Chain A
Amino acid sequence: MTELADHSTDYGIVEREAPEVMARNLRVAAHLWASATLFFFAAFLFAYFYLRTLDSSDVWRPTHVDPSLTLGTLAVVALVAAAALVRLGLADHRAERRSAWRIKGAVALVLLLLAVALQIAEWATQGFGPTDGPYASVYIGWTALLAVFVLGLAFWVETTLATSIRYRGMGSEAVVPAGHASGDADRAEPDIANPVSLIRPELEALSSYAMFLAGVGVGTWIVLYLL
């Protein structure tokens, strides 16, 4: 043993960690993940302008390669609206209007899934394939990646919403009943004190990332449909 630690100290010392630590983790991680997300798409942006400028073999974008602006616009509108609803839901949560947040969260979830469905509909009806030139390549790769990120965002919205619904009758300081711990099957109680109180920080992190991804969606729409 030393002054700072002893092997004989009970492991329970790490249990019931204050939720503020995880709240900080979440807020910072959302911004870090947003910066990483930017670089996932930066590769496609680079490819877009590189291949468009190069236009080798003069096949950048044959005339029949023209994805539906209507479907693309609807998909990005759904994404932006979902992000806005999450943001408004956060405001509701801060104002203790929990049920209003849950409704907005549920609508946001539906909109995110709708955005992916619209993208799939676009692929199914677009009238060109991946072999139809560099624009088609970038279009398919970029939108596929965006769809994966939107699905990830939908997962995050769902988990936050599900926790909020499950503990809707409890205040943020409420003690989670035994047997409600997630993850480790051997664990009976959560290792974070008042995990229900993490809904708001999670919503804050989610909201900032959703707004960022909506921005990526708008950027995608401008580059792939308008330029």
Chain B
Amino acid sequence: MRLRRLLGYNLLTAVVLGLVGFYVGWWLGHQFKGKSLDYFGDTGQNDIALFLAYLTGVVGFLVGLGFANYPLQRLLGKPPSLREKETTGPGRYFGLCTDHKVVGMQYLIGIGVFIFIGGLNAMLIRFELLSPTSEKFNANNYLTLVGLHGTMMIGMMTSGILGPFANYLVPIMIGARRMAFPRIEALTFWLLMLAGVILMTTIGYGGFPTGWTGYAPLNDQANMGMDSYIVFFALVGLSMCLLGLNMLATVITMRAPGMTWGRLPIFVWSVVSTSVLMLLAAPVLFSTLFMVALDRTAQTGFFNGQAGGSAYLYQNLFWIFGHPEVYVLALPGMGIILEIIVVFARKPLWGYRLAVTGMLGVTLLSFLVWQHHLFVSGINADLRPFYMLSTELISIPTGLIFICALGTLWQGRIRLTVPMLFALAWLFNFLIGGLSGVFLSDVPSDVTTHGSFFSMAHFHYTIMGGLLFAFFAAIYFWVPKMTGYAINERWGKVHFWSMFIAFNSTFGPLLVIGFLGMPRRAVTYAGYLHGGNTWVSYSAFVLGASMLVFIGNFVWSQVFARVPVGPNPWGSKSIEWELPSPVPVHNFDRIPTFGPDPYPYGVADAPGGRAAVVPARPTL
């Protein structure tokens, strides 16, 4: 039995088959000969071999996990089924499991590991920038370091909220027992993990010089490390697209009786908006990377000016994906913040419809602003006003969501728990991120700040200050539900305050340093920026240390202390808190029926509050 388990479909088998697949592809790739492929012989570089190796490695890994069984059996005519290995103990966390709660936990830990690695890269970047001259890394290695940090963080955090929290919570919040397509749900997770590992192998192939955006013509000229970047983002794109599809299908088709669109929790609305973006934007990324891969292997000329292509085309295609991607990162954070604020202000969500309108407005407009990333790349001057205006317009729906958060806080009975602190910090950070973004949407100011640390600080305020703070808010808020064990509140507050202060101490000055002329992705800088950079580096180290506080607290609370929490430690009215902690594998004994109000916080809970709402508990 043990031997069967060892040799069966599991992570170990997957790794072995993945490695075998990799080397088979590598060997196969070296068998290709052709007119347009001769140049590989001159350079010792064989991109075809590496692409094939990654492809066959991915296939081998997925076969090892058991993903091929179902499609093969369907080919033989067996009928469809839904679930795999949902009740087989801790082993289910290390293989193909279709329980959406297991997949949520897998995402949380898996993404957490890669974010930690991305964070370590950031520490190394700041370590190098302690000196205005190149000290620890040469320019090429520094570029790879910056690229690894950015690519890892952006790629992984695309699913940073939807992966762990939407997978875990959305079916429960809408009263379902599963996701629409449980195997696809599991597949999205494993694709993302494979992508992370593949990106890290870039170090063995010389890294990549393009940063996270992978611009042409560098992406064509770079050595084989670029292939790792391409495969990484292609897998992330595929994972995103399937995740978005699954989420939308789940919310559209699996809602329990009474859960009308107007009663969806605001977090689910944010997931719906994000999923639309994922479903439609990620395919553009995938196709674009396919073109880059063809340029690098078959010598097509999509982005090569000498061959009749255009590097500018890449920028367009990348940002058609890239700007919606920014909102893929931001929207779920907004949903989390609104979801948490209502609990700790003990009030119904102020302006529920306004918030939903804001989210849908952001979703729509985010497809119409991409060229503001190209203001200094040679964009037709006549197009600038349109994209400037559309970019500025997007601040209106974003502002609506912000107003809903503030309106909910107004006269609320506020409890400053750790999740609430992170939620409030999100408001502060995102405000700075949004205001600094106005400078980048305006053509005149963008011309002077583009490519500087100003724009870098701006997007760290929106993405780290927005998404990562929301991510931690969600962890402190929902992990006790997911595991059944509390996270220590006191150490949580130590984590929060150290992170919040260090974050602002890092990225606030970077806005100034950028305005003073510090360029992005440069390993050396002018002497007059040394003092500011030193301050920022030490702040960043404190920021890094705050993450260690979190990890220590998390591991201690969940592995060693294990203080059980009841079903509803925060006094929330949302349905997941009506279930035991952790949630049983079947979610509900019977499918619930929902009442009329998604946020029934009223007079009984908040004396002096504004609304008297009839509590509407889900009924069986």
Contacts and interface: CB of A to CB of B under 8 A. Distances in A.
B79 A28 contact: no
A79 interface: no
B316 A50 contact: yes
B44 interface: no
A64 interface: no
A202 B308 contact: no
Given A4-B588, A176-B79, A56 B308 contact: yes
B110 to A, nearest CB: 22
Interface stretch (B190-198, B292-300, B350-358, B502-510): B292-300
A1 to B, nearest CB: 6
Interface centre among A9, A32, A60 (most CB of B within 10 A): A32
Contacts of A32: 245, 248-249, 279
Nearest to A176: B79
Contact of B75 (A54, A133, A159): A159
B183 interface: yes
Contacts of B286: 40
Interface string A1-26: 11111110101011001000110110
B484 to A, nearest CB: 10
B618 interface: yes
A39 B253 contact: no
Nearest to A55: B308
Contact of A17 (B8, B82, B180, B300): B82
Contacts of B78: 163, 166, 180-182
Q: For the side of the interface on B, what is the size category?
A: 35 or more
Contacts of B456: none
Contact of B77 (A28, A166, A186): A166
B178 interface: yes
A130 interface: yes
A40 B287 contact: yes
Contacts of B415: none
B249 A25 contact: yes
B539 interface: no
Contact of A195 (B80, B86, B302): B80
A121 interface: no
Interface in A146-179: 155, 158-159, 162-167, 176
Interface string A117-154: 00000000000011101101110110001000000000
B70 interface: yes
Contact of A14 (B8, B79, B309, B586): B586
Interface residues of A, number: 76
Contact of B308 (A24, A134, A183): A134
B79 A182 contact: yes
B291 to A, nearest CB: 6
A99 interface: no
B36 interface: yes
Nearest to A199: B79
Given A25-B253, A59-B307, A134-B301, A145 B287 contact: yes
Nearest to A160: B74
B329 interface: no
A78 interface: no
A18 B290 CA distance: 40
B597 to A, nearest CB: 18
A176 B282 CA distance: 39
A14 B584 CA distance: 12
Interface string B46-70: 0000000000000000000000011
Given A6-B584, A13-B589, A25 B77 contact: no
A44 B87 CA distance: 44
A218 interface: no
Nearest to B314: A47
Contact of A145 (B178, B183, B284, B290): B290
Identify the 3 closest CB pairs spanning chains A and B, nearest first: A166-B77, A195-B79, A162-B77
10 contacts: A4-B620, A14-B178, A21-B254, A25-B249, A32-B248, A36-B245, A36-B279, A181-B79, A183-B73, A190-B79
Interface of A: 1-7, 9, 11, 13-14, 17, 21-22, 24-25, 28-29, 32-33, 35-37, 39-44, 46-47, 50-51, 54-60, 129-131, 133-134, 136-138, 140-141, 145, 155, 158-159, 162-167, 176, 180-187, 190-192, 195-196, 198, 202
Interface of B: 8-9, 35-36, 69-71, 73-88, 177-178, 180-181, 183, 241, 244-245, 248-249, 252-254, 279-284, 286-288, 290-291, 294-295, 298-302, 305-310, 313, 316-317, 320, 567, 575, 578-580, 583-589, 592, 618, 620
Given A14-B178, A166-B77, A184-B84, 12 more contacts: A3-B578, A6-B584, A22-B80, A28-B180, A50-B316, A130-B298, A131-B307, A137-B294, A141-B300, A163-B80, A180-B79, A182-B79
